[in-house]
Amino acid sequence: MIETLKGLENKVSSTEPLMAELANHLYNITSDSFENEKSPDGISWNPIKPRKADQTPDKILRDEGTMQDSLSAFSSKDKAGIGLNAVANGFPYGLVHQFWFRR
């Protein structure tokens, strides 16, 4: 895959449209993962831990939508990616969920 992309880079005069398309694709994959509660590979996310019935959100990682609402795509002539800029209690929100920080 990497060699294929490098070969394309040498043949294309401007990679910015390609990178923008890749960033958009990554954004859509991630957005779909939140919606379907599955990884891009189709693996279901761990279920929500039991809490009080009135505190349980309808969807995993959708308590207030802070993380999903901060999802953004970025690209340049040689980069494509996505990121989250949500912060919770001074910590990057995505890292808290990924690596489970405790206070």
pLDDT in tens, the chain (103 residues): 788 877 777 777 788 998 999 999 999 999 999 889 898 899 998 887 776 555 666 777 666 777 788 899 999 999 999 988 887 777 777 776 667 666 5
Q: What is the pLDDT of residue 17?
A: 92
Q: What is the pLDDT of residue 12?
A: 74
Question: What residues pair up with 38 in beta bridges, in sequence order?
Answer: 44
Q: What is the pLDDT of residue 100?
A: 66
Q: What is the pLDDT of residue 8?
A: 73
Answer yes or no: are the C-beta atoms of 80 and 23 closer than 8 Å: yes
Q: What is the pLDDT of residue 75?
A: 97
Q: What is the pLDDT of residue 76?
A: 96
Kindly report the number of other CB atoms within 10 A of residue 89's CB atom.
Answer: 8
CA separation for the pair 84, 72 (Å, rounded): 6
Answer yes or no: are the C-beta atoms of 34 and 61 closer than 8 Å: yes
Question: In 3-state terms, what secondary structure has residue 39?
Answer: coil
